[in-house]
Structure 1
Amino acid sequence: MTTKPTSWARGAALRGLVALPLVAGLVTAGWLLADRTPEPAPAPAPLPAAAGAASGPSVLEVSAPVKAQEPGQGASGAGGKSPLQQWADQLAGPLDIPATALIGYANGELTLRGEDPSCHLSWVTLAGVGSAASNHGRGGENLLGLSAAQAKKYGATPDSPSVAAGRALCAGGTDLGAGAGWWKAIAAYHPGSESELFRQRVLGMAQLYATLSLDPSRAGTPSVQAARFALGQLGLPYVWGGNGPDAGAAGFDCSGLTKASYDSAGVALPRTADSQFRAIPQVPPSQEPRLGDLVFYGSPATRIHHVGLYLGNGLMINAPTEGQAIQIHTYHSKGDDYAGAGRPA
């Protein structure tokens, strides 16, 4: 099964990207060829991939963010702070979410647990929506991007936009614990020309928040800083040899993105996918990659032709190929030429 490309545009806050196709297909099998254009290299052109080798995966399979740390509940302790406030204070810094917004997202989950337990709404989904819609309300924006019609229908108040957003996401008997339901709910919540980009941004940030909530001590590490940078580039175009807007290009190619991501965290990488593969410690094949690892495609014996940055839960951020935008894909699909993962830091 192949996926149907769609088109969408990156807004002004994302540096004015023109419309580009996004491979947004939700599939249970199948893949598309990706990144067949050779990377730029300071040396003569690298060897081609082995005959008959497939390219890296270029689909996003059905996915929903993984389980996150539970919000605190119960009565206030001797110090006067409720478990929920303590929970928010613990995670606000590592997640870079204001504690008041974080409490709101948690209250949205806790309220919907009672109203609609079969929906399985998680606070990280609301936090992903809040990040994509308004950067968590910083600057006075509409926290969760609720339309006037949504706000009226689902009973939004200044003190409970997360509850209304949760009701909107759970409408119609949706199960947000399943990938297909989650993906459709986010699309229905934010329809329009930028719906695909919005969904990718929500998924990426929700996954990041879920991972960090379980291990907040990692928040300041280079791998997390690199992942945040890469997520910030979602929607920019693939540009052969591109090193990004700061270097005068509209976007990135695959290894340009991974290099810039780690440059932002103070870790220098070589420029091409093949040289990155050979320069960093490899993750044992028996271990799943972790957040910030680089995932590679090609033949270790001849040439690595593609690289992405692992996000967790089977997902990577990558610049796929000409005509596509930087986006989240499933990192390993049956029949691809996945060559393994490396850990820059």
Structure 2
Amino acid sequence: MTPPEPEHDAVPAARSWARGALHRGLVALPLVAGLVTAGWLVADGDQPVPPAPVAAAAVTGPSVLQVSAPVQAQEPGQGASGGGGKTPLEQWADSLSGPLDIPAAALMGYAGGELALRSEDPGCHLSWVTLAGVGEASSDHGRQGANPLGLSSAMWQKYGSKIPGVGKPALTDAASASVAAGRALCASGADLSAGTGWWKSIAAYASKDTELFRQRVLGNAQLYATLSLDPAKASSPAVRATRFALGQLGLPYVWGGNGPDAGAAGFDCSGLTKASYDSAGVALPRTADSQFRATPRVAGEPQLGDLVFYGDPATRIHHVGLYLGNGLMINAPTEGQAIQIHTYHSPGDDYAGAGRPA
């Protein structure tokens, strides 16, 4: 198809990285220079390389990924055996396995990791959703490889012995691996309830592709936390679109791109949001401005799956992302960058509001 009309001038990228989505393979593309305390400095928009240089100070729109931790999730079930001879923890895992698309045995392992670290290191505040995010980013919860939490041999040797309730700990066992992974994440006195501590711990855990790994852990952990509190929404178009968008993390921004299934290496911003909702059976127009005009406005804070827009509603909307929750969005930022997670609204940007496709 003919690419959409350019939607914003971009600031050229300045630093290269190699990243990829687990289910798509690796791609090589630049990341904008400057991993600062607040996050990645980025430009924005559906656009090609600009015909003339544009000063960074003149660019508005989403600008940072602020350090953050996933929101609080549903507590793992505990106590005496319940109906059918199953423990509350087994019942809890069974109830969430389908909505979260995580095998019940893996969920049991993640919950066991949280409960073990509550006793061993209560100041760490490890959540099962963080372990679930690590499990998704490492092996799709054991579906792709025998090392479900992606532990290095050194981490396993250091943290994999004497697992509570496990006679013979094994790296391939989600229960053993979750406790070992939790110990590795909580090392050096980390507090995972705070954004800075969580961010540093996930970066230290990853052995390669640190930024993509960290974003995939954050994005999926945030999704799991939200769904654990309202699992009935798991089959909604908003959740299906969000899952699709998370699966594109690490692919390159391609102006006019509609993704690998349409013959492009990646997406532009509105191509990503359209493809995400196409996957959920909801048709959207092709450009950011037309999507803004076509979706009902959202009063107040956006919710999971809402589209968040940037520009001037009276004249032209130049950028769109998909809201993830907890102040975060998934978007294709600009030429030369990967699809990634950013803070959706920062002081001084030109955030124009949110729309709800379905």
TM-score, normalising length from structure 2? Answer: 0.87
Confirm or deny: 8 A CA contact 2:34 2:41 kept in the other structure. no
- The answer to whether residue 309 in structure 2 is matched with residue 293 in structure 1 is no
Q: CA deviation at 1:162?
A: 0.3
Distance in 2, Cα, partners of 1:267 & 1:133 = 30
* Residues 198, 210 of structure 1: alpha-carbon distance in 2 compared, 3 angstrom cutoff: same
- The answer to whether residue 179 in structure 2 is matched with residue 169 in structure 1 is no
Q: Which residue of 2 aligns with 1:200?
A: 215
One-letter code aligned to 1:331: Y
One-letter code aligned to 1:277: F
Q: CA deviation at 1:79?
A: 2.6
Q: Indicate the SS of the match to 1:170.
A: helix
The CA deviation string for residues 232-263 of structure 1, in whole angstroms up to 9 with x for no partner, is: 00000000100001111110000000000000
* Residues 134, 31 of structure 1: alpha-carbon distance in 2 compared, 3 angstrom cutoff: closer
Confirm or deny: 8 A CA contact 2:40 2:65 kept in the other structure. no
Q: Which residue of 1 aligns with 2:114?
A: 109
Q: CA deviation at 1:14?
A: 2.2
Q: 2:330 aligns with which of 308, 317, 326?
A: 317
* Residues 11, 259 of structure 1: alpha-carbon distance in 2 compared, 3 angstrom cutoff: closer
Q: Which residue of 2 aligns with 1:56?
A: 61
Q: CA deviation at 1:23?
A: 7.1
Percent identity for Structure 1 against Structure 2: 72
- The answer to whether residue 52 in structure 2 is matched with residue 37 in structure 1 is no
- The answer to whether residue 7 in structure 2 is matched with residue 7 in structure 1 is no
* Residues 223, 191 of structure 1: alpha-carbon distance in 2 compared, 3 angstrom cutoff: same
Confirm or deny: 8 A CA contact 2:254 2:267 kept in the other structure. yes
Q: CA deviation at 1:53?
A: 7.3
One-letter code aligned to 2:346: S
Q: Which residue of 1 aligns with 2:164?
A: none
Q: Which residue of 2 aligns with 1:93?
A: 98
Q: Which residue of 1 aligns with 2:75?
A: 70
Distance in 2, Cα, partners of 1:330 & 1:150 = 32
Confirm or deny: 8 A CA contact 1:25 1:59 kept in the other structure. no
One-letter code aligned to 1:279: A
Map 1:138-153 → 2, pairs under 5 A: 138-153=143-158
Distance in 2, Cα, partners of 1:260 & 1:178 = 33
RMSD over equivalenced CA pairs, Å: 2.1
Q: Indicate the SS of the match to 1:307.
A: strand
Q: Which residue of 2 aligns with 1:42?
A: none
One-letter code aligned to 2:61: G
For structure 2, which runs of at least 5 residues remain unmatched after alignment? Answer: 1-12, 50-56, 162-168
- Of 137-146 and 316-325, more deviation after overlay is shown by 137-146
Distance in 2, Cα, partners of 1:135 & 1:187 = 19
Q: Which residue of 1 aligns with 2:275?
A: 260
Confirm or deny: 8 A CA contact 2:329 2:342 kept in the other structure. yes
Map 1:109-258 → 2, pairs under 5 A: 109-155=114-160, 157-158=169-170, 159=173, 160-192=176-208, 194-258=209-273
* Residues 25, 64 of structure 1: alpha-carbon distance in 2 compared, 3 angstrom cutoff: farther
Q: 1:276 aligns with which of 291, 302, 316?
A: 291
Confirm or deny: 8 A CA contact 2:259 2:265 kept in the other structure. yes
TM-score, normalising length from structure 1? Answer: 0.90
* Residues 136, 32 of structure 1: alpha-carbon distance in 2 compared, 3 angstrom cutoff: closer
Q: CA deviation at 1:140?
A: 4.3
Q: CA deviation at 1:33?
A: 3.1
Distance in 2, Cα, partners of 1:170 & 1:81 = 30
Distance in 2, Cα, partners of 1:282 & 1:61 = 26
Q: Which residue of 2 aligns with 1:341?
A: 354
Q: Indicate the SS of the match to 1:288.
A: coil
Confirm or deny: 8 A CA contact 1:230 1:257 kept in the other structure. yes
Distance in 1, Cα, partners of 2:329 & 2:314 = 24
Distance in 2, Cα, partners of 1:23 & 1:60 = 13
One-letter code aligned to 2:101: D
Confirm or deny: 8 A CA contact 1:293 1:344 kept in the other structure. yes
* Residues 206, 5 of structure 1: alpha-carbon distance in 2 compared, 3 angstrom cutoff: farther
Confirm or deny: 8 A CA contact 1:67 1:210 kept in the other structure. yes
Q: Indicate the SS of the match to 2:28.
A: coil
